[in-house]
C-alpha cells in the first residue's frame, strides 16, 4: 500500500497509427507497431509494462488484456504462489524481444534467489494468443509445486458474471467465500514457523475455461495443455484478484506449458466518446476548453454543443459548432472547442451526439469553496495520534500511542524504509523511543508517518495561510485530549491547527533523537496491510520485552506491535524539517506563541548544527528527503522569510546557482525569496524563467490538455498541480514573461479535463468525482471527501486508465497528504487570480 513516490517522469508523445486489426479478418489478432496484439475491441499486451520498481507488484505487467476499453487482466507471469500479494517475489525482466513479422513477443525473466530463468513466448494464432513457458532447465526442486503460470482477472469486471470450466458452470462471488486449507506460515527473513496460515483452494478446475460466457464485453476463453485452476485471491487480501493458474511440471525443460488465450473480439465496436471538462466549473475569466476523446476508428464528426440549463431544466444552446481537430494522442483522437469567451454565470452542460456531461457552473465563486472538503474532512481524517469523530461516525480512535521502537540496523524494510549500520540515536534496536506519539498525518492510504510528507504539508499549508489568509473554522482540535471533532468549530483557524499538528511531530523527532528521522512505519507486512480503524493496529502500550506476549503491566505490553522508527541521520531531512519549522514559526505566531517560538528556535539551531559538519548523505528510496541542495535552499528561504537575517539571504544567493538547473521543483521557493533579496537575485532568475516558459509551452503542445502528463507507475496529478503552482508563482513575479492560463489548465485537469474519463480527481469536489478510492477505507469501496488521487495512469504504451470500480490501484487511486495540501494551495491561487481580473 505505498503511494508516496513523487518522482518526475519523462513525458512522451506517442504516435497512433491505424490499428493492425483494420487490415485483417475482423476476429484476427495482429501484432501491431505499438508492440501489442490488436483486434476489434481487444488488445493483448505481453510485458509492455514492468512491475513498479519502487513498490513491487502494482498490477501493470506480464500478459494483459484490454477488452472494450477496460483492462480486465494482468500479471500473466510465472509466480510462486496461487494468489501472490504485493510483496511476494516476482521474476526480474532480463530481455523483451518483439518480432512483428512472426507475430512473436519473447520475454526472458529470472528469479535471482533461485538462479533460475524462464522465457514467456507469446504468438498470435487466429483469434487468440498462444502463450508458452520455455525452460532451459527444469524447475528447481525448491519451487516444484510452487512455480506456476498465473493470469489475474479484475474482480469488479466479473462481479455478476459466470464462468464455465470444461463445460461446468459456476459464478464469480461478489464477496470471497472460498474454501481455505491450513498451512505452516513461515517468516520470509528467518524461515522460522510463525504458526498456522491459510491458502485458498481452487474454485474450479479444468483445461478449458470461459469467463463471462454470457457477456461479449468480458468473455475470455483460455485452454491449456495442463490442468488450470481458478482461485479467488480476495480470500487472503481484499486487493486480491481472480487468478487462473497452471503449475509448471517437475523435471522437464523446453516448452513445458502452453495456454491459448482468446478474448472475445467485437467487430465494429467503438468506444463511447468522452467529453473532458472541469466537473467543478469555471470562473468567468478563466480559459475554458472542452475536449472530445474519440475511439481512433470513430470517423464521425458531430457538432459539440454548449447548453445553458434553466431553472425548469430546459436547455438553451449557447454554442454549437464543429470542434476543431486536435489530432491523435496515446490511443485516442481528440477534438476541441474553446468557449473561454462564454462568461455569463449559470449552469451548463456539454453535448456531443448522445453524450451529455453532468452539469457544471460558470460563476465568480466557483473556486471559493473547492478546498473546503479537503480542509474539513480529509485532513482531520488523516490526523495520527488523535481520535477523530464526524457526527455519528467515528473515523478512528487515538492511534499509535505506543510509537515507536528503534528499527533494527542494516535492515531494508517495506515501503522504501531502510536503517543504516547504526541507529544514530541513543537507543538500541527494538528499544522504545518515547515522545514520538504526537502529531503528524497518515501519509497515504496506509498509516505510516513519512517525514518528508510531513514537512511538505506544513510548508504548503503555511503558504496557503499566509498568501490567502485562510481562517475557515469547522474542525475542533484538542491536542491535550487527543481528540478531533469534524464540523464543530472551536474558534481557531483549521489550517493553523493542521500546521501545529504537523509541527508537533517534527519537533518530537528532534526532541527524541536529536535529528529528523525517515519516518515511523509498521514492523511487518501483516500489520502494514491493516484496513479499518487505525487504533486497532496496535495495543497502544509501549513494548516491554520482560513481559510475555499478550501480558500487560504498569502501562506496558509484551506484544511487540509498536511501529518502528527509522533513524539514520540525513542532512536533507534535517533541512526539509527545519524549513517547515521556520514556516510554522511565522504562521503559529499569535495563535500558539509557545509552539511558534520552539519551532523557530529549533529550526535555527539545526541550521547551525548542519553548518558545523559535513552533510550526512544516507539515502534510500523516497524516505530520505529530496536532493540536498534543494532542501537546503528551501530551509534558507524559509529562515530568511521568518527572521530577515542577512546570513540566510547570503545562503540563498549562494545556493541559487545550484538549484537553477532544476528550476521547476524549486521555482516556488525561489520566488518566495524575492521580497527579501537584492535586485541582483531577481535579475539572475530571468533567463531561467524564460527557459521554463519555453519548455512549459512545449509541454503544453504535446497533449490536448496543456499540462505535463507523466508516464511512470505513479500517475501525475501531483506533477500537474506543481506545474500550475509554479506558473502561478512566476506569473505573479514575472507577469511580462509568464501568463496565467497554466493555472486554469491545472485546475481543470484535476477536476475532469484529462484523458480516459471526465471524473474529478478530488473526492466530493465537482459534480462527478472520485467515489471509489484508495484511502484506508478502500475495502468499503468508498472515499474520503477532499482526498486527491494520482489520477490518470498511462499503461504503456498508450492506455490512459483510472478505475472507479476497483479502489486498489494505488498508482491511480491513492490519497496522499501532500497532494491534499497542494490542492488547497492551488485552488486558492486560482481564486486569487480570478479576483484580480
- pLDDT tens digits along 33-80: 999 999 999 999 999 999 876 677 889 999 999 999 999 999 999 999
pLDDT at 185: 65
pLDDT at 308: 98
- pLDDT tens digits along 614-665: 999 999 999 999 999 999 999 999 999 999 999 999 999 999 999 999 999 9
Q: What is the largest CA-CA distance in the chain?
A: 81
- Please state, for a pLDDT cut of 70, what percent of the chain lies above it: 95
pLDDT at 440: 98
pLDDT at 197: 81
Assign domain 274-362 to its CATH superfamily.
Immunoglobulins (2.60.40.10)
- pLDDT tens digits along 468-525: 999 999 999 999 999 999 999 999 999 999 999 999 999 999 999 999 999 999 999 9
- pLDDT tens digits along 334-393: 999 999 999 999 999 999 999 999 999 999 999 999 999 999 999 999 999 999 999 999
Read off the C-alpha cell for 592. Answer: 500558539
ω into residue 833 within 30 of 0, thus cis? no
Return d(Cα 117, Cα 139) in angstroms, integer.
9
* Helix/strand/coil for 179: coil
Residue 607 in this model has a pLDDT that exceeds 80: yes
Give the dihedral of Cα atoms 94, 100, 104, 106; nearest 10 deg: 0
Residue 16 in this model has a pLDDT that exceeds 70: no
pLDDT at 53: 65
- pLDDT tens digits along 572-601: 999 999 999 999 999 999 999 999 999 999
Neighbours of 27 (CB within 10 A): 17
249: DSSP letter: P
Residue 192 in this model has a pLDDT that exceeds 70: no
* Helix/strand/coil for 732: helix
Decide the pairing of beta strands 418-419 and 449-450. unpaired
| Backbone phi, psi, residue 93, to 5° | -70, 135
Residue 187 burial (C-beta neighbours within 10 Å; 0-12, 13-18, 19+):
exposed
Count CA atoms within 13 Å of residue 830 on its CB side. 33
Contact 58, 37 (CB under 8 A): no
pLDDT at 10: 31
Average pLDDT, the chain: 94
* Helix/strand/coil for 609: helix
The CATH 2.70.98 domain(s) of the chain lie at 21-263
- When pLDDT is averaged across residues 764-770 and rounded to a whole number, the result is 98
- When pLDDT is averaged across residues 77-97 and rounded to a whole number, the result is 94
Helix and strand counts by DSSP (H, E) for the chain: 16, 42
Residue matched to cell numbers 481580473: 837
Secondary structure in 3-state letters for 419-430: ECCCCCCCCCCC
Contact 705, 754 (CB under 8 A): yes
Neighbours of 822 (CB within 10 A): 27
Decide the pairing of beta strands 332-338 and 289-295. antiparallel
The CATH 2.60.40.10 domain(s) of the chain lie at 274-362
Residue 11 in this model has a pLDDT that exceeds 80: no
CA 169 to centroid of chain Cα atoms: 38
Contact 393, 780 (CB under 8 A): no
Nearest CA to 21 out of 46, 2, 39, 41 is that of 39
Residue matched to cell numbers 519451487: 143
**Dihedral of CA 93/95/98/102: which sign?**
negative
DSSP bridge pairs for 180: 200
Return d(Cα 563, Cα 557) in angstroms, integer.
13
Residue 240 in this model has a pLDDT that exceeds 60: yes
Out of 14-28, 158-172, 260-274, least confident range: 14-28
CA 22 to centroid of chain Cα atoms: 36
Query: Which residue has better confidence, 6 or 609?
Result: 609
Return d(Cα 135, Cα 253) in angstroms, integer.
5
pTM to 2 decimal places? 0.95
Return d(Cα 354, Cα 272) in angstroms, integer.
9
Return d(Cα 387, Cα 545) in angstroms, integer.
28
Return d(Cα 622, Cα 518) in angstroms, integer.
9
Task: Name the CATH code of domain 21-263 (choices 1.10.3210, 2.40.360, 2.70.98, 3.10.620).
Answer: 2.70.98
Band of the pLDDT at 195, cuts 50, 70, 90?
Answer: low
DSSP bridge pairs for 44: 37, 65
Read off the C-alpha cell for 600. Answer: 523557530
ω into residue 600 within 30 of 0, thus cis? no
* Helix/strand/coil for 594: helix
Return d(Cα 145, Cα 141) in angstroms, integer.
9
Q: CA geometry: angle at 278 spanning 465 and 695, to 5°?
A: 75
- When pLDDT is averaged across residues 749-761 and rounded to a whole number, the result is 98
Contact 292, 772 (CB under 8 A): no
Return d(Cα 775, Cα 779) in angstroms, integer.
9
- Please state, for a pLDDT cut of 90, what percent of the chain lies above it: 92
Amino acid at each position: 500500500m505505498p503511494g508516496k513516490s513523487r518522482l518526475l517522469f519523462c513525458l512522451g508523445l506517442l504516435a497512433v497509427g491505424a490499428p493492425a486489426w483494420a487490415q485483417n479478418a475482423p476476429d484476427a489478432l495482429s501484432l501491431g507497431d505499438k508492440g501489442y496484439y490488436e483486434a476489434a475491441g481487444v488488445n493483448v499486451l505481453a510485458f509492455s509494462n514492468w512491475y513498479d520498481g519502487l513498490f513491487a507488484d502494482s498490477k501493470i505487467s506480464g500478459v494483459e488484456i484490454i477488452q472494450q476499453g477496460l483492462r480486465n487482466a494482468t500479471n500473466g507471469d510465472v509466480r510462486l504462489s496461487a494468489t501472490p500479494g504485493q510483496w511476494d517475489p516476482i521474476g526480474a525482466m532480463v530481455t523483451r524481444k518483439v518480432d512483428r513479422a512472426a507475430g512473436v513477443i519473447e520475454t526472458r525473466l529470472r528469479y535471482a534467489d533461485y538462479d533460475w530463468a524462464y522465457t514467456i513466448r507469446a504468438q498470435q494464432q487466429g483469434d487468440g494468443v498462444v502463450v508458452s513457458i520455455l525452460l532451459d532447465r527444469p524447475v528447481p526442486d525448491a519451487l516444484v509445486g510452487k512455480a506456476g503460470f498465473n493470469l489475474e482477472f479484475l474482480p469488479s469486471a466479473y462481479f455478476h458474471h459466470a464462468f464455465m470450466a470444461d463445460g461446468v458452470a459456476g459464478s464469480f462471488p461478489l464477496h470471497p467465500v472460498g474454501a481455505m486449507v491450513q498451512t505452516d506460515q513461515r517468516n520470509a527473513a528467518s524461515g522460522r514457523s510463525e504458526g498456522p496460515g491459510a491458502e485458498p483452494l481452487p474454485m474450479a478446475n479444468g483445461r478449458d475455461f470461459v469467463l463471462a460466457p454470457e457477456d461479449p464485453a468480458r468473455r475470455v476463453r483460455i485452454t491449456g495443455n495442463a490442468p488450470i485452476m481458478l482461485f479467488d485471491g480476495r480470500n487472503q487480501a481484499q486487493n486480491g484478484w481472480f487468478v487462473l493458474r497452471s503449475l509448471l511440471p517437475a523435471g522437464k525443460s523446453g516448452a513445458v506449458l502452453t495456454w491459448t488465450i482468446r478474448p472475445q473480439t467485437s467487430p465494429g465496436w467503438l468506444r463511447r466518446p468522452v467529453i473532458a471538462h472541469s466537473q467543478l466549473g469555471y470562473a468567468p475569466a478563466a480559459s475554458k476548453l472542452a475536449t472530445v476523446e474519440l475511439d481512433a476508428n470513430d470517423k464521425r464528426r458531430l457538432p459539440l454543443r454548449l447548453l445553458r440549463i434553466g431553472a425548469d431544466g430546459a436547455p438553451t444552446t449557447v454554442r454549437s459548432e464543429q470542434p476543431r481537430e486536435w489530432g491523435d494522442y496515446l490511443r485516442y483522437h481528440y477534438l476541441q472547442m474553446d468557449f473561454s469567451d462564454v462568461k455569463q454565470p449559470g449552469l451548463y452542460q456539454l453535448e456531443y451526439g448522445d453524450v451529455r456531461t453532468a452539469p457544471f457552473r460558470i460563476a465568480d465563486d466557483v473556486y471559493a469553496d473547492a478546498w473546503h472538503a479537503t480542509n474539513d474532512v480529509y485532513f482531520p481524517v488523516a490526523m495520527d495520534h488523535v481520535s477523530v469523530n464526524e457526527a455519528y461516525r467515528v473515523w478512528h480512535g487515538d492511534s499509535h500511542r505506543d510509537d515507536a521502537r528503534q528499527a533494527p540496523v542494516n535492515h531494508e524494510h517495506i515501503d522504501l524504509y531502510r536503517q543504516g549500520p547504526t541507529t544514530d540515536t541513543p537507543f538500541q534496536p527494538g528499544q522504545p523511543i518515547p515522545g514520538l506519539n504526537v502529531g503528524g498525518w497518515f501519509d497515504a492510504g496506509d498509516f505510516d508517518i513519512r517525514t518528508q510528507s510531513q514537512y511538505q504539508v506544513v510548508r504548503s499549508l503555511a503558504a496557503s495561510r499566509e498568501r490567502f489568509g485562510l481562517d475557515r473554522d469547522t474542525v475542533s482540535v484538542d491536542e491535550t485530549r487527543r481528540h478531533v471533532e469534524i464540523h464543530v468549530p472551536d474558534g481557531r483557524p483549521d489550517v493553523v491547527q493542521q500546521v501545529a499538528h504537523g509541527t508537533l511531530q517534527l519537533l518530537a523527532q528532534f526532541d527524541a533523537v536529536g535529528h529528523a528521522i525517515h519516518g515511523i512505519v509498521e514492523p511487518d507486512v501483516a500489520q502494514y496491510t491493516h484496513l479499518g480503524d487505525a487504533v486497532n493496529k496496535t495495543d497502544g502500550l509501549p513494548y516491554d520485552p520482560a513481559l510475555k506476549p499478550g501480558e500487560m503491566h504498569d502501562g506496558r505490553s509484551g506484544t511487540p506491535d509498536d511501529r518502528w522508527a527509522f533513524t539514520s541521520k540525513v542532512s536533507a531531512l534535517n533541512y526539509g524539517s527545519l524549513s517547515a519549522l521556520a514556516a510554522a514559526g511565522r504562521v503559529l505566531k499569535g495563535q500558539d506563541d509557545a509552539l511558534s517560538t520552539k519551532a523557530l528556535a529549533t529550526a535555527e539551531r539545526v541550521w547551525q548544527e548542519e553548518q558545523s559538519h559535513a552533510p550526512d548523505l544516507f539515502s534510500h528510496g523516497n524516505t530520505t528527503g529530496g536532493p540536498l541542495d534543494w532542501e537546503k535552499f528551501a530551509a534558507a528561504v524559509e529562515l530568511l522569510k521568518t527572521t530577515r537575517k542577512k546570513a540566510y539571504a547570503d545562503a540563498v544567493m549562494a545556493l541559487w546557482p545550484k538549484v537553477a538547473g532544476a528550476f521547476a521543483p524549486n521555482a516556488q521557493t525561489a520566488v518566495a525569496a524575492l521580497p527579501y533579496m537584492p535586485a541582483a537575485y531577481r535579475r539572475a532568475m530571468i533567463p531561467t524563467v524564460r527557459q521554463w516558459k519555453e519548455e512549459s509551452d512545449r509541454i503544453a503542445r504535446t497533449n490536448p490538455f496543456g499540462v505535463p502528463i507523466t508516464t511512470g507507475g505513479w500517475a501525475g496529478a501531483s506533477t500537474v498541480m506543481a506545474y500550475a503552482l509554479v506558473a502561478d508563482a512566476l506569473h505573479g513575479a514575472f507577469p511580462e514573461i509568464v501568463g496565467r492560463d497554466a493555472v486554469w489548465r491545472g485546475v481543470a485537469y484535476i477536476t475532469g479535463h484529462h484523458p480516459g474519463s471526465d471524473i474529478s480527481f478530488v473526492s466530493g469536489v465537482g459534480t462527478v468525482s472520485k467515489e471509489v478510492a484508495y484511502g484506508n477505507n478502500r475495502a468499503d469501496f468508498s472515499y474520503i471527501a477532499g482526498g486527491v488521487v494520482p489520477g490518470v495512469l498511462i499503461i504503456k504504451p498508450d492506455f490512459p486508465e483510472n478505475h472507479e470500480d476497483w479502489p486498489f490501484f494505488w498508482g491511480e487511486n491513492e490519497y496522499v497528504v501532500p497532494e491534499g495540501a497542494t490542492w488547497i494551495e492551488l485552488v486558492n491561487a486560482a481564486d486569487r487570480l480570478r479576483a484580480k481580473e
